[in-house]
Amino acid sequence: MSFQQWLSMGGYGFYVWAAYGMTALLLVGEVLYLIQQRRARLRTLRRLARMNRSESR
pLDDT digits (tens, 9 = 90+) for 32-46: 999 999 999 999 999
Computed over every residue of the chain, the mean pLDDT equals: 94
pTM attached to this predicted model: 0.74
pLDDT attached to residue 1: 83
Nearest to 26 by CA among 16, 34, 38: 34
- What was the pLDDT predicted at 7? 85
Show pLDDT as tens, one digit a residue, over the chain (57 residues).
Answer: 898 888 888 899 999 999 999 999 999 999 999 999 999 999 999 999 999 999 887
The one-letter code for the residue type at 17 is W
Nearest Cα to Cα of residue 7 among 24, 16, 25, 21: 16
CA distance 43 to 50: 11
